Amino acid sequence: MHSAADYAWLIPVLPLIGALITGLGLISFNRTINRLRKPVAVLLLSCVGAAAVISYAVLFEQLGGAPPVEHLFVWASAGSFSLPMGFVVDPLGSVMLALVTTIAFLVLIYSHGYMAHDKSYVRFFTYLALFSSSMLGLVISPNLLEIYVFWELVGMCSYLLVGFWYDRDGAAHAAQKAFIVNRVGDFGLLLGILGLFWATGSFDFQGIADGLSAAMSNGTVPGWAAIALCLFVFMGPMAKSAQFPLHVWLPDAMEGPTPISALIHAATMVAAGVFLVARLEPLYAQFPSVGLVIAVVGAITCFLGASIALTQMDLKKGLAYSTVSQLGYMMLAMGCGAPVAGMFHLVTHAFFKAMLFLGSGSVIHAMEDVVGHEPVLAQDMRLMGGLRQKMPITAITFLIGCVAISGIPPLAGFWSKDEILGQAFNTYPLLWAVGFLTAGMTAFYMFRLYFLTFEGEFRGNDKTIQAELLATAGKSADDGHGHHAESVHESAWPMTLPLAVLAVPSVLIGLLGTPWNSRFAGLLNPEEAAEMAEHFSWSEFLPLAGASVAISLTGITIAVLAYALHRIDLGELVAARVPTLNAFLANKWYLDAINEKLFVRGSRKLAREVLEVDAKVVDGVVNLTGLLTLGSGEGLKYFETGRVQFYALIVFGGVIAMVVLFGALG
Amino acid sequence: MLEFAVSPPFDPQTVGIPATAIAAGVPWLSLSILFPIVGALIVPFFPDQGEGKQVRWFALGIALITFLITVAAYLNGYDPGVSGLQLSERVSWLPDLGLTWALGADGLSMPLILLTSFITALAVLAAWPVTFKPKLFFFLILAMDGGQIAVFAVQDMLLFFLAWELELIPVYLLLAIWGGKRRQYAATKFIIYTAGSSLFILLAALAMGFFGGGTPNFEYSVLAQKGFGTGFQLLCYSGLLIAFGVKLPIVPLHTWLPDAHGEATAPVHMLLAGILLKMGGYALLRFNAEILPEAHAQFAPLLVVLGVVNIIYAALTSFAQRNLKRKIAYSSISHMGFVLIGIGSFSSLGTSGAMLQMISHGLIGASLFFLVGATYDRTHTLQLDEMGGVGQKMRVMFALWTVCSLASLALPGMSGFVSELMVFAGFATDEAYSLTFRIVIAGLAAVGVILTPIYLLSMLREIFFGKENSELVSHTNLVDAEPREVYVIGCLLVPIIGIGLYPRLMTDSYSSSIEALVNRDVVAMERITQPTAPLIRSSPIVSTLIQAPSIPQA
């Protein structure tokens, strides 16, 4: 008797096959395949759909209490070393499988509408299927190394998709930035994985945790080294899940098509970091200090994202910073030793944030009819307003998303966010305060987005604002085609249907995680769920929950007063009085500027200097060096006593000295 | 004609030749060396109308048959599970000089022989547009094919030296006649560097061959059995290191490479990057690590340090380069750094990774250089500043470039990732070095993981992304990739991705040889333990652990 979990390997393989067929077709018969839009869409939809069906079968099996399933084979071996690969299906994985396939399926449908006028429709679908495949592979990976493999592959898909419109300079820049910032995180992840393998001889999650505690107890691995390794591994999730200070790539990644922002940069890929931390829970649970670092990073990110989102005028960027902030909440939960709460927020956030992004896509798509395809215009809220009458479905679903993310019961965001805040309150009260404050800011900026976009007067035809925006962005106004419509209209059904579908879980899914009877915790960690239900008391729950709701309502009220009723003018009240604060937020805490100065220019300068050394010194002196090494080769006879490493150090030091010298001179 | 009687091993000390090789009786290796050379000799007499339209088919046929011969040799006469020499052939050539036509293949040479014939066949296909003196061109390419297989297949050091030198002449001519604007300079630099450094090979070969008196004998198996003193070993080792360090290349002996690679045409380029650099790595494994193990034990830390310098230094210079060809050339140097670290790692995993890195870079480097050539054919410039937005017109080319660049930056699922990972894991987990040394080296080498995408992706961005460069478009015809080009890249990508998905396809073919080699080095290191300071080598307590897998001395 085979269970569905035995066929779980098909889940990533099916989209991969679809992507391969269309991808190879694109390379070999570019023109023909590009014309076959419908067949390609149907093929890839059925691949992802089939994967979704298997995922749900797996999920229900796990809900029914089936044991975890693991299948492995030897992938590489050398000497005594052998490396198994394979797949594992457990409750955590099955939840992610269902989540990823659902959202991927809906986003594919949505893309059929959103990308309808794009020349590269087929290429877009191929990339989407490729991404789904890599992401699903990541979810069912049984060990760290396989995670790393898929980790890089989702990063690659993100690179390809952010740079999808490669004729735009912004997209080219953002794609490169996304990949390289993620590589910085992967640098730590790789070193961490290697170090853990050295310390424990294992890549397996449980094996690493057990091996490390054993190695520490018998003294082969010092405590500081173990903590350092854990932190190195954490660098990977920091980059992937956009945690401070490696979050800088995510807002820029909004240059990609909006369905991508929804799928990759809000719901699934960016959650991979949180997922990995949850996977490594047996490891991190041993080190409270590592937990504290994670929690602090999460809290900083959470606050940073929300604070920058307050002043964003670009609809998608606003949502992007909101994502950064929400990922911070998840990381905060992980650091507080509450992975179930973090995962729960991951799931609820995936639904409502995907919906919000798809909603923003619907708005942008509509705006493009009026202001053209220039993203500086189409995404700016100063040109929107009053869209509710024209686009009712988009507006209603967007409003549901805003309420959900603001944490108003009984919508999804309330339950998950409140659980995190409750855990933080019990573990690190100071960090709770940060999260609490952020909750108010979240409610404010989300409703600000809503009011600016959907209420008031439509400002899209205001040529002076358009000209101003273009001037600020440093672009010329002549986009040539002036056949724009005068007003917007609701998007077609492929775009509104996913919005409506996503609204359902955004409202209801939180009820699966009520603290007194958490089905979600019951699946991931039955003991914890039982404990939660047992210790639950209304007198503890109500004050905290009440406080959260109260601060959210405060945020909403300010937004209503400022942007719906225009009773208070925040520009005059705050921005004019504290211009430094406003500038600080508008410039995104100056982090991009620091990066640009320190790392981008610094590395370019260093590279130029090294090249200079290479061209002038090494090439010039190399003949002399040849003679010298000849001499030292003669002298090496006397080096038997083993001062070779001294020689090596001289070579290394010499190169560095030359670089420094030329840096100082040049 | 010589008669290729396969004589039974007369030297009891040599490793036993498997009975199958003798029974089969086909001199596969001689065939694979001489067939392309004979083919090359026919080229001048081949009827051709002058544009090379006929002769290129002939050359392609010869190269393909050579590839098939090497594949047949692998399938019929080669057992991957055996660590010793296989497919052996011995004919006494000049007995007075001790020169023997001794051929054979083990795990170190067989994969590279296959790589050589494979890349050469694709290079012939890449040379399709060559119209200037096509006969001479294909003659040289085919002669090089035979010469390079000989470098990997010969089992006699004097013969090795001859093959090494003979292979220089075609490269020199190919550079000097078909190269770019500064081809004379580049070719001269190349020949001075390589020929000059190969003097050390001759010196070391003579010294080692005459060592101990008696009739000189240059066969590897005999040399390996001679009990060289440590001082003698160090001397030979340092000489050979210079010779092979130029070829690999090792910073600071690399400066010929950007010039040579920068001026070569695409097919020559593919051969230079795909095969010639691997001769350096192969020779380091074959001579320095296998025949001079005691010296290797002393020198290995230096190799590791130089490897890291290669990785970082060349990655930075590549980033600053504005010339596309030179950029990729420097990236080759950077990738060779992993080979050095792997060779110096004293772990079978790391050394295996070095071997895989050579194969992998042979494929990836060849594909990138082929693409550079194909792009140059369209843009007529190699300056990145003069390109931009090329992706609008050349979509398939853009896709191929992206895939090959991702392969080069070690994306998982492709061979480069596996080999770099093996080197990392092998070096980091082996107890031969002290913990601090390992941490520093692994950390610095991992910086390469960040630098590689920086220069490769910024290169892609400057060529393909953004608005079309109007000046470029105005005077060039940017046609998209033609089927031949897609086919060449496809052929290279199949093994790249195949190895990436299931590395044992390749590693199983040489792992037993590498293990034997590493055991030999580890035993040698044990013999001379204690001399090195604890800064780099780990304490003796740990090193007793690695004594366990020592091979029984026959």
pLDDT (tens digit, 9 = 90+) per residue, B136-181?
Answer: 888 899 988 999 999 999 988 888 988 888 888 888 888 888 877 8
Q: Is the pLDDT of residue B530 over 60?
A: no
Q: What mean pLDDT do residues B474-481 have? A: 77
Q: Is residue B126 within 8 angstroms of chain A, CB to CB?
A: no
Q: Is the pLDDT of residue B473 over 80?
A: no
Please choose, from the candidates B9, B2, B271, the residue with its C-alpha nearest in 3D space to the C-alpha of residue B148: B271
pLDDT-derived band at A659 (thresholds 50, 70, 90) equals low
Cα distance between residue B451 and residue A603, in whole Å: 9
Cα distance between residue B90 and residue B5, in whole Å: 8
Cα distance between residue B425 and residue B353, in whole Å: 9
Q: Is the pLDDT of residue A211 over 80?
A: yes
Contact A76 B446 (CB under 8 A): no
Please choose, from the candidates A140, A139, A141, A183, the residue with its C-alpha nearest in 3D space to the C-alpha of residue A158: A183
Q: What mean pLDDT do residues A293-318 have? A: 90
Question: In this predicted structure, which of A21-25, A620-624, B251-255, B346-350 has the lowest mean pLDDT?
Answer: A620-624
Q: In angstroms, what separates the C-alpha of A372 from chain B's closest C-alpha?
A: 18
Higher per-residue confidence, B475 vs B434 = B434
Give the percent of chain B with pLDDT over 90: 22
Question: In this predicted structure, which of A306-310, A457-461, B258-262 has the lowest mean pLDDT?
Answer: A457-461
Residue numbers of A between 476 and 515 with CB closer than 8 Å to B? none
Higher per-residue confidence, B81 vs B266 = B266
Q: Give residue A629's pLDDT.
A: 53
Tokens at A213, concatenated: 């505690």
Q: In angstroms, what separates the C-alpha of B335 from chain A's closest C-alpha?
A: 17
The CA-based dihedral angle spanning residues A503, A504, A505, A506, taken in that order and rounded to the nearest 10 degrees: 40
DSSP label of B100: E
Cβ-nearest to B348 among A78, A184, A608: A78
Q: Give residue A635's pLDDT.
A: 47
Probe site for chain A from B203, B304, B313 (most A CB atoms < 10 A): B313
Q: Give the pLDDT confidence of A261-290 residue by residue, as tens digits.
A: 888 888 888 889 999 999 898 888 888 899
Q: Is the pLDDT of residue B190 over 60?
A: yes
Contact A636 B235 (CB under 8 A): yes
Probe site for chain B from A644, A659, A660 (most B CB atoms < 10 A): A644
Whether A130 and A19 have beta carbons less than 8 Å apart is answered as yes
Whether A168 and A230 have beta carbons less than 8 Å apart is answered as no
Task: Count Cα neighbours of A54 within 13 Å in the Cβ-side half-sphere.
Answer: 21
pLDDT-derived band at A622 (thresholds 50, 70, 90) equals low
Q: Give residue A233's pLDDT.
A: 92
Contact B429 A194 (CB under 8 A): yes
Q: Is the pLDDT of residue B54 over 90?
A: no
Whether A81 and A202 have beta carbons less than 8 Å apart is answered as no
Q: In angstroms, what separates the C-alpha of B113 from chain A's closest C-alpha?
A: 22
Mean pLDDT taken over chain A: 84
Q: In angstroms, what separates the C-alpha of B134 from chain A's closest C-alpha?
A: 30
Nearest CA in chain A to B399: A27
Cβ-nearest to B428 among A27, A75, A198: A198
Residue numbers of B between 213 and 272 with CB closer than 8 Å to A? 230-231, 234-235, 238-239, 242, 251-255
**One-letter amino acid identity for A58?**
V
Contact A610 B316 (CB under 8 A): yes
The CA-based dihedral angle spanning residues A62, A67, A73, A77, taken in that order and rounded to the nearest 10 degrees: 110
Strand pairing category for A69-78 and A81-89: antiparallel
Q: Give the pLDDT confidence of A233-254 residue by residue, as tens digits.
A: 999 999 999 998 888 899 888 8
Strand pairing category for B99-105 and A69-78: unpaired
Q: Is the pLDDT of residue B19 over 50?
A: no
Whether A435 and A332 have beta carbons less than 8 Å apart is answered as yes
Q: Is the pLDDT of residue B340 over 90?
A: yes
H helix runs in B248-381, sequence order: 256-263, 266-271, 277-283, 293-320, 324-343, 348-379
Residue numbers of A between 163 and 222 with CB closer than 8 Å to B? 163, 166-169, 171-173, 175-176, 179-180, 183-184, 186-187, 190-191, 194-195, 197-198, 201
Q: Is residue A606 within 8 angstroms of chain B, CB to CB?
A: yes
* Chain B neighbors of A169, CB-CB under 8 A: 465-467
pLDDT-derived band at B23 (thresholds 50, 70, 90) equals very low
* Chain B neighbors of A195, CB-CB under 8 A: 428
Q: Give residue B437's pLDDT.
A: 86
Q: Is the pLDDT of residue B356 over 90?
A: yes
Cα distance between residue A157 and residue B411, in whole Å: 11
Q: In angstroms, what separates the C-alpha of B76 from chain A's closest C-alpha?
A: 24
Cβ-nearest to A167 among B298, B389, B421: B389
Secondary structure (3-state) at B382: coil
Contact B535 A645 (CB under 8 A): yes
Q: Give residue A438's pLDDT.
A: 92
- How is chain A split among helix, strand and coil, in percent rounded to 5? 80, 5, 20
Q: What mean pLDDT do residues B319-334 have? A: 90
Cα distance between residue A519 and residue A522, in whole Å: 5
* Chain A neighbors of B319, CB-CB under 8 A: 603-604, 607
pLDDT-derived band at A651 (thresholds 50, 70, 90) equals low
Q: Is the pLDDT of residue A605 over 60?
A: yes
Cα distance between residue B310 and residue B210, in whole Å: 35
Question: ipTM value of the model?
Answer: 0.85
Whether A636 and B242 have beta carbons less than 8 Å apart is answered as no
**One-letter amino acid identity for B543?**
S
Task: Count Cα neighbours of A530 within 13 Å in the Cβ-side half-sphere.
Answer: 3
Cα distance between residue A648 and residue A641, in whole Å: 15
Q: In angstroms, what separates the C-alpha of A12 from chain B's closest C-alpha?
A: 14
Task: Burial-class residue A217 by CB neighbours within 10 Å (0-12, 13-18, 19+).
Answer: exposed
Q: Give residue B283's pLDDT.
A: 92
Tokens at A614, concatenated: 């290479």
Q: Give residue A511's pLDDT.
A: 83
What count of other Cβ atoms lies within 10 Å of the Cβ of residue B450? Answer: 17
Q: What mean pLDDT do residues B197-201 have? A: 85
What count of other Cβ atoms lies within 10 Å of the Cβ of residue A408? Answer: 17
Q: Is the pLDDT of residue A560 over 70?
A: yes
Q: Determine the Cα angle at B497 with ends B494 and B502, to 5°.
A: 115
* Chain A neighbors of B446, CB-CB under 8 A: 187, 190-191
Between A and B, how many CB-CB pairs are < 8 A?
A: 210
Cα distance between residue B481 and residue A260, in whole Å: 29
Q: Is the pLDDT of residue A85 over 50?
A: yes
Name the residue with tokens 């592979």.
Answer: A137
The helix or strand, by DSSP H or E, that contains position B87, with its residue range, turns out to be strand B86-94
- How is chain B split among helix, strand and coil, in percent rounded to 5? 70, 5, 25
Q: What mean pLDDT do residues A549-568 have? A: 87
Whether A644 and B303 have beta carbons less than 8 Å apart is answered as no
Cβ-nearest to B302 among A148, A641, A647: A647
Q: Is the pLDDT of residue B375 over 50?
A: yes
Q: Give the pLDDT confidence of B272-306 residue by residue, as tens digits.
A: 888 988 999 999 998 888 888 888 888 888 899 99
Cβ-nearest to B234 among A608, A610, A639: A639
CA dihedral sign of residues B381, B384, B387, B391: positive
Tokens at A131, concatenated: 């991404």
Q: What mean pLDDT do residues B77-97 have? A: 80
DSSP label of A76: E
Q: Give residue A640's pLDDT.
A: 43
- pTM value? 0.87
Contact B446 A190 (CB under 8 A): yes
Q: Is the pLDDT of residue B553 over 60?
A: no
Whether A440 and A558 have beta carbons less than 8 Å apart is answered as no
Tokens at B359, concatenated: 């194969």
Contact A606 B316 (CB under 8 A): yes
Q: Give residue A30's pLDDT.
A: 76
Q: Give residue A663's pLDDT.
A: 58
Q: What mean pLDDT do residues A515-541 have? A: 80
Cβ-nearest to B449 among A150, A183, A655: A183
Q: Is residue B429 within 8 angstroms of chain A, CB to CB?
A: yes
Contact B319 A163 (CB under 8 A): no
Contact A194 B396 (CB under 8 A): no
Tokens at A141, concatenated: 């990976």
Q: Is residue A653 within 8 angstroms of chain B, CB to CB?
A: no
H helix runs in A1-89, sequence order: 10-28, 30-35, 37-63
Contact A637 B464 (CB under 8 A): no
Q: In angstroms, what separates the C-alpha of B483 from chain A's closest C-alpha?
A: 8
pLDDT-derived band at B551 (thresholds 50, 70, 90) equals very low
Q: Give residue A642's pLDDT.
A: 46
Mean pLDDT taken over chain B: 83
Residue numbers of A between 584 and 603 with CB closer than 8 Å to B? 603
Higher per-residue confidence, A638 vs A498 = A498
**One-letter amino acid identity for B410?**
A
Q: Is residue B391 within 8 angstroms of chain A, CB to CB?
A: yes
